[in-house]
Structure 1
Amino acid sequence: MHNAAQAYASTAKTAKVDQRELEADLFMRAAAKLQAARERFADEQLVDEALEFNKRIWAVFLPSIVDASNPLPAELKGNLASLGIFVFRRMDEIYAKPAAERLDILVSINADIAAGLRGQAAA
Structure 2
Amino acid sequence: MEAARRLREAKSKDKRELSEAVRLNWRLWTIFQSSMLEPDCPWPVDLRGNILSLADFIDKRSVALLSKPDPDGVEVLVNINLQIGGGLLAEPPQSHDTQSQAPVPGRVNQVL
Please give the range of the TM-score, normalised by the shorter of the 2 chains. Answer: 0.7 to 0.9
- Aligned-pair identity in percent equals 34
**2-side partners of 1:118 and 1:59: how far apart?**
20
**2-side partners of 1:66 and 1:110: how far apart?**
20
TM-score normalised by the chain length of structure 1: 0.68
**1-side partners of 2:57 and 2:38: how far apart?**
19
Which gives a bigger RCO, structure 1 or 2 (Cα 8 Å, sep 6+)?
1
Q: Does 1:48 align with 2:4?
A: no
TM-score normalised by the chain length of structure 2: 0.75
Give the C-alpha shift of residue 61 in structure 1.
1.4
Query: C-alpha deviations, 1:53-110, integer Å up to 9, x for none?
Result: 1122112111101212111111110010000010010011112333211100000111
1:84-95 to structure 2, matched below 5 A, reads: 84-95=55-66
The answer as to whether partners of 2:19 and 2:65 remain within 8 angstroms in 1 is no
Q: Which runs of 5+ in 2 are unaligned?
A: 92-112
Report which of the two structures shows the higher radius of gyration computed on alpha carbons: 2
Q: Does 1:69 align with 2:40?
A: yes
**Runs (4+) of structure 1 moved beyond 4 Å?**
none
